[in-house]
Structures are given as C-alpha cells and as structure tokens.
Structure 1
Amino acid sequence: MSRGGRGDEVAGAPLPCRDGANGAAASPPRACALRREPAEGRASAGHQPQRAAEAAEAAGALAGASRPRPAVRRGRGVLRRRPLTAAIVPVLPELCPRPAGGLARRGVHSDIVRRPVLAFLALGAVGLVSACAGVGREPLPGRPAHHVEGGFRNPDPTFTRPGGWTRWSFFVRRVWGTTFAARSYEAPRVANDGGALRDGTVNPSVTWIGHSTLLIQVDGVNVLTDPHWGERASPVSFAGPRRVTPPGLAFEDLPRIDVVLISHDHYDHLDLSTVKRLAAAHDPLFLVPLGLGPWLEERGITRVEELDWWQSRTHRGVTFHSVPAQHFGGRTPADTNRRLWASWVVAGRDRRLYFGGDSGYFDGFKAAAERLGPFDLAAVAIGAYVPREIMERVHTTPEQAVQAFFDLRATTLLGIHWGTFDLAEEPLEEPPGRMLAEARRRGIDPTRAWILKLGETRRW
C-alpha cells in the first residue's frame, strides 16, 4: 500500500487490526483486511448466461455466510430442515408482483430478467437471514472504542439496525422496483465541459457531479469524493438502483485528480469500475477508512492509504482528516462492518470543508466542529431517508442536515446524496425543497443554503 510521495506527511499511523479467526494482531503500520471477497465484475446487458452467472456469484457470496445447521429430530425419525430458499421464494410474488406490460413494451421478455433477479433475491435472503453476526460489540482491550472483534462499530454503543426481515423486505422492494418499475427524474443541470476546472480559474471551488460525488479544488489540489460514474449502485449489472440522471461532468472532462476520498464501501459510494478508471487515468492517492486498503489492492489499486477516525494526512499542503460518521459498512451481508466508514474534513491554507458521506444524525457533527471547525462549507446528505424504520439512524433527513449545519458551525450548507440513484422511497425531487424550507424557517441566509445543479461549480 503506497504511503504517498515526497513532501507528504502522515499524522497518526493506522492501527493494526485483529484477525477475526484467531485474534492475532496484524503487522503495523497498515490495517489488515478482515475478510477477502471475490472480485466484482459487470456483464453486458444483453448476455443472459453471464447475467445468470452474476446472480449466482453475487448471491453465492451472500449465502456464503450461512452455516450448516443440524437436522431436527422428531420422535424416531429425522426431519430434515427445509431449505431456506424454499420458504422464501413463495413470498416473492407478493412482494414483487409481475409488472403490467412494462418490460413487454420495451421488447424484453420478462422471464429472461425475472429469473436471475428472483435467484438473486432468494439467495440474498439466505445471507440476510442466516448470516453470522459478523463482528463483536465489545471494544477490544487497549484499542479505540469503535474497534471490535472482527471489525468496527458506531460511536454510540446502543446503535442497532432493524431486524433481518425488515431489512430484507425493503431490499426486495427496492431491487424489484428499481429493476422493473424504475422511477424517472431529471435533476436540474448546467452544461460543463470542464475547461475552467482544468484551468483552475475558480479556486477554491466545488462542483456537484451527482449523488455524493464532488470535485473539490483548493490550493491547487483537485479532490474527488465518493466518485461514481457507473450506471447502477449494485453488485450486478442487471438489477438494483439505476442512475436516473447522467453525471454532471463527463469522466473525460475531469481535470487532473490528485486525491480521492472514499467514505465507505456501499455501492452508491464506492463504484469499482469508476475507481479503476481513475487509477488508470490519473493515478491519484486514495484515502480510505480502515479495511478498504487491502480490498482495493486486491483489485489492482495500490496507491492507497487507510486512516482511522481522527487521523490525518497532508498531501501537497492540503490536510485530510478522517472523522466519525454514524453508518455501517459492507458489500454483502457476510462482511457487514468489517471495513470502517467515515466522514472527511478537507483543510487548505485558509478554507475548510466538511464532507459527510453517509451518516445519521448524531453528536459527531458537534465533535468535528469542536476539534476541526468551524467550516466554510458543509456537504451533508439530504436524500434516502424513507422508510424511517430503515433509514433513521444511518441517513439524515433534510431537516436534520440543517441542524448538522448548525452543529458544524459552518458558513454554507450544501445538500448532497439526492436525485441520482433511486435508493429509497421518498419522491426523488423532494429533498431539496425540504432542505431549503427548513433553512428558511431556521433563518439561514438564502445565499448560504446551496442546492447545486448537476455540473454546477461554485466558489466557496
């Protein structure tokens, strides 16, 4: 794992982690990977055998967490357990009704797509329902409180997620709906050919490319957050949340990228095809939370550095601080919370920006302000907040984003994480209006509450 080039500084060496199997400490200075996963890939949309293979591979990773369970004895005989998929598949038609002609109108035979998607959902249920607990809940002795056996936890030790059925039924609704009954929305956009960005004539500046992808330019350093130019936020190419509006800036129009910040490993924030393109085209320094370094290295991205919460890294005069977020990690149910999640602070000579990534509302906003604030710009998520039983503790509402703005002691609020992927159940166009209404109600100067158009650049 690269430690950066000449003139770079590191504050605080990443702490070693422990192997979940035997508890042995990994050799410092880098944190170890806690679980290895199969490489990801994308299939062409029209290649049905490859789609089926994708479904089997992805669902196999989900089901891989299942442990063999003993048969249940009933009297003199042995009653073998019914396969979980046999119990799950019958309820799929209720949760996933056949679309009324939607695919036929597009000239696609519904069963061609339905079958691999049903397999993906059914086997995904095996992982969600029968996956092992994954990580412990008690802090490891002598380690930070968010380090637990096998992975990480949130700052609040009482943090819990909804039960497996609640999560799975939401997962089914979203995968089915976004695959067969996708909603449409075209977020406002402005033309941007990247010329001014490549010339660096607007500095410091921020450009909204979509979702949580920002191009930040400060003190001559170009930074991308959670870059995503992919068509889906999903482990497979044939199902899951599809991009509803194109990126605000073409990949080819980017300026030189110096640093990439990743907040966590969820598919809408870490797109493998995009980070591979960036590594090949720009060779940036990737700054990531603990556990993501080995994951990226296994996929050919080697200029990576991991940071724990409250660690920092200086690159070409700009300092990047990893700070706590209230969220969770994982790309399958089998690796939940085995890699850390984080928000980021970008500190130039005389400007400071807070990038929230994904987080529920929590005391960490105030803590970041106390230790690293105040901030000139706070980019906080305002989308993916319905249903609340799923999202309440991991995604802020637009109103909570406004409260976070006050907690962060920021000068300007920028709403992000909306209008790009159909991730949740609120109307796609709703978050900006709610954020601006709450900002007005709380007396924020309208020039200090920003909803950018796709491709729009502003000085901060």
Structure 2
Amino acid sequence: MSAQATWIGTATVLVELGGLTLLTDPAFDPPGTPQYFAVPGSAMRILLRRTAGPAMAVQQLPPIDVVLLSHDGHADNLDTSGRRLLGSVGRVLTTRSAARRLGQPAVGLAPWESHVVRAGEVRLRVTATPARHAPDGWSDVAGEVVGFVVEVVDDGARREPVLYFSGDTVPHPELEEIGRRFGVDVAFLHLGAARFAAAGDTPFSLDADEAVALARSLRARAVVPIHVDDWEHFTLVHDDVVAAFDAAGLSAVLRSLAPGVATGFVGRGGDAAEDPAGRPAGSAGQRSRGRPV
C-alpha cells in the first residue's frame, strides 16, 4: 500500500498513510479574506494577502484523523476556516505553545518528541523536528514552529514511505540531524522565501538554493515543494525551484504536485518512489480503520 498525497495549496496537504488520513497546516479561506499577523510585543499588524485559492474546500475533505500543525500564529498555515476544522478532527499535533492556546484535541510536541497514533491495527509514529521560522534575533517575532516525520510503526518491508514535513523554517544546524536520524522517502518542504517590508530583506522561509541544500542533507528520494506561489509575501515562485534543482543536478528527485490531484508514493521496499499517474482528489480519504487514540 502506498501513501497518497494531495496538495491543496500553500502548506496544506491531504495525506493517506497506513489507512489513516492526515492534513497539514489547514488554510482554506478564499483569496481576498482579510488576514493579519499581529507582531508580538507591539501594536503592529501585518496584512497577509492570499493570491490563489485552495484546490479543495473544507466540505470536500474526508474525515481527518490527524492534523499536523507546524504553528498556529500565521494565517498561511492556519486561517479561520482551518481553526474551525480543528474541533472536528481526531487529533492535532503541534508545538507545545500552540497546544496550550488551542486546547483539546491538540497535543504539543517539542523537537524530537514522538506521539503514536493508533487506528485499528495501524500505528503511526509522528516525531516533531526542529524548525526555525526566522534567523537569530527574529525568533520572538516569528514564534515557535516544528516540522514532522511520519512513519508507519513495524513496517519491516518499508513499503510505506517515511514522510517529512519541514514546517516554515530557515536553514539552521539542527536540520542536518534529521537526515542522520531518519531515512526520509518524501520531503515536503515549506519554501516561498517569505519576506515582509517591515523586516527588510530578512527571509522567513527557505529559498530555492536552501531547498537544494536541505534535499542533499536529507537524501530524500522525492522532494515536494509546497508553501510557494500562493501569497504576496512569498518572493519565490515554483519555476525558480525547478531551475535550482535542475542546476544542482537534482531534477530527478523534485516532485511538483498539481493542486487537487492525488499522487501515490511508496517506501524504499517498493518498486518506485512515486506513482506518477495521479488519481483524482475525490478518491482520497476512505474512512480510517477506527478512531485514533
């Protein structure tokens, strides 16, 4: 059985793995919806403008077993529609500070902490990974963020892929440890080179060359660019990502997903890293075998 991933837009990905349904960083508000980021410790509010709508509406989602929420402070990772959704899912895994703010069903994880989700006979281990949303000196503004590694427990044949979701991050030394600890099959990287006029040229997420460097560090068999194109504060476009991976000789690992189209991935024990024949998004999300605990 392969994993199936449907990119909905920004950092929102619908994933079926081991019979469970996961959703990352839910953002479903349409373009034009007023979104503001309140800068901690000041009266400043930064307007965020989405330029492309989600490929699926909340109403089209299957029941969600687990939401992987990298952080709760920015509307391009959790907007009003996404917040409403959280009350209807089985579990939300996120940062410790976000879990305190959100309450049930949120569980907070520090980097390298794991949480096992069970549904029937299937167990998924989700491990939080280090992420830094801004360079040194800006961490209080950007807030706490984590990434995630998702593995099927006791998958001896490695038929199910190991998935990595970077969360919004800039390069930092702890990212190197992820590739040493895990055999990542598919890496979903939050890119966009996000910038804000109030912060000058300070980047708040990865650019294309930084994505290439992280791909090499991870040694992932497939790299999926997300968190790109969809907002005005993203200064990186998808074509720049393709060009950077081509120049680095890594075009074979780059897997650009069409919004709303489900694509299959298998683990290292399978025959291929990807089933390029995507299935329609409507085929995703069969009910999981029991509720997660």
User: 3-state SS of the aligned residue for 1:336?
Assistant: helix
Bigger-Rg structure (1/2): 1
Partner of 1:25: none
- After superposition, give the CA deviation of every residue in 1:250-282 in whole Å (9 maximum; x if it has no partner): 2111111000111123323443523443234x3
Partner of 1:247: 54
User: 3-state SS of the aligned residue for 2:73?
Assistant: coil
Q: In structure 2, do the counterparts of structure 1 residues 344 and 364 end up closer, same or farther at CA, with 3 Å as the change threshold?
A: same
Partner of 1:449: 254
User: 3-state SS of the aligned residue for 2:245?
Assistant: helix
Quick one: which of 155, 158, 163 aligns to 1:353? 163
- After superposition, give the CA deviation of every residue in 1:272-300 in whole Å (9 maximum; x if it has no partner): 523443234x3320111111122112xxx
- After superposition, give the CA deviation of every residue in 1:324-364 in whole Å (9 maximum; x if it has no partner): 112259xxx9x936963111111123321110111111222
- In the TM superposition, 1:231-380 aligns within 5 A as 231-234=33-36, 240-280=47-87, 282-297=88-103, 302-316=104-118, 317-327=123-133, 336=140, 340-348=144-152, 349=155, 350=158, 351-371=161-181, 373-380=182-189
Q: In structure 2, do the counterparts of structure 1 residues 368 and 286 end up closer, same or farther at CA, with 3 Å as the change threshold?
A: same
For CA contacts below 8 A with separation 6 or more, give which structure has more relative contact order. Answer: 2
Quick one: which of 15, 19, 25 aligns to 1:226? 25
Instruction: Tell me how far apart the structure 1 counterparts of residues 142 and 48 of structure 2 sit (CA, whole Å).
Output: 23
| CA RMSD across the alignment | 2.7
Contact 1:263–1:269 (CA under 8 A) maintained in structure 2: no
Partner of 1:381: 190
Structure 1 position 418 matched with structure 2 position 217: no
Instruction: Tell me how far apart the structure 2 counterparts of residues 304 and 455 of structure 1 sit (CA, whole Å).
Output: 27
- After superposition, give the CA deviation of every residue in 1:36-75 in whole Å (9 maximum; x if it has no partner): xxxxxxxxxxxxxxxxxxxxxxxxxxxxxxxxxxxxxxxx
Q: In structure 2, do the counterparts of structure 1 residues 370 and 417 end up closer, same or farther at CA, with 3 Å as the change threshold?
A: same
- After superposition, give the CA deviation of every residue in 1:58-106 in whole Å (9 maximum; x if it has no partner): xxxxxxxxxxxxxxxxxxxxxxxxxxxxxxxxxxxxxxxxxxxxxxxxx
One-letter amino acid of the counterpart of residue 406, structure 1: R
One-letter amino acid of the counterpart of residue 129, structure 2: V
One-letter amino acid of the counterpart of residue 216, structure 1: V
Contact 2:168–2:191 (CA under 8 A) maintained in structure 1: no
One-letter amino acid of the counterpart of residue 440, structure 1: D
One-letter amino acid of the counterpart of residue 22, structure 2: V
Measure how far apart 1:229 and its partner are.
0.8
Contact 1:399–1:434 (CA under 8 A) maintained in structure 2: no
Structure in which a larger fraction of residues adopt helix: 1
Measure how far apart 1:235 and its partner are.
5.2
One-letter amino acid of the counterpart of residue 187, structure 2: A
User: 3-state SS of the aligned residue for 2:206?
Assistant: coil
Q: Could you tell me which runs of 5 or more consecutive residues in structure 1 were left unpaired when the two chains were aligned.
A: 1-201
Instruction: Tell me how far apart the structure 1 counterparts of residues 179 and 113 of structure 2 sit (CA, whole Å).
Output: 15
Instruction: Tell me how far apart the structure 2 counterparts of residues 445 and 344 of structure 1 sit (CA, whole Å).
Output: 24
Partner of 1:91: none
Partner of 1:400: 210
Measure how far apart 1:366 and its partner are.
1.5
Structure 1 position 212 matched with structure 2 position 14: no
Partner of 1:126: none
Measure how far apart 1:453 and its partner are.
2.1
Partner of 2:41: none
Quick one: which of 432, 437, 440 aligns to 2:238? 432
Instruction: Tell me how far apart the structure 2 counterparts of residues 353 and 264 of structure 1 sit (CA, whole Å).
Output: 18
Partner of 1:391: 202
Q: In structure 2, do the counterparts of structure 1 residues 364 and 306 end up closer, same or farther at CA, with 3 Å as the change threshold?
A: same
Q: In structure 2, do the counterparts of structure 1 residues 215 and 444 end up closer, same or farther at CA, with 3 Å as the change threshold?
A: same
Measure how far apart 1:367 and its partner are.
0.5
Instruction: Tell me how far apart the structure 2 counterparts of residues 337 and 422 of structure 1 sit (CA, whole Å).
Output: 19
Instruction: Tell me how far apart the structure 2 counterparts of residues 328 and 314 of structure 1 sit (CA, whole Å).
Output: 29
User: 3-state SS of the aligned residue for 2:47?
Assistant: coil
Instruction: Tell me how far apart the structure 2 counterparts of residues 382 and 235 of structure 1 sit (CA, whole Å).
Output: 19
Measure how far apart 1:390 and its partner are.
3.6
Measure how far apart 1:304 and its partner are.
1.3
Identical pairs, percent? 24
- TM-score computed with the length of structure 1 as normaliser: 0.49
How many pairs were matched up?
242
Q: In structure 2, do the counterparts of structure 1 residues 218 and 378 end up closer, same or farther at CA, with 3 Å as the change threshold?
A: same
Instruction: Tell me how far apart the structure 2 counterparts of residues 382 and 391 of structure 1 sit (CA, whole Å).
Output: 14
One-letter amino acid of the counterpart of residue 7, structure 2: W
Measure how far apart 1:242 and its partner are.
2.5
Contact 2:189–2:226 (CA under 8 A) maintained in structure 1: yes
One-letter amino acid of the counterpart of residue 458, structure 1: T
Q: In structure 2, do the counterparts of structure 1 residues 386 and 306 end up closer, same or farther at CA, with 3 Å as the change threshold?
A: closer
Contact 2:133–2:144 (CA under 8 A) maintained in structure 1: no
One-letter amino acid of the counterpart of residue 382, structure 1: L
- After superposition, give the CA deviation of every residue in 1:289-316 in whole Å (9 maximum; x if it has no partner): 111122112xxxx111111111000102
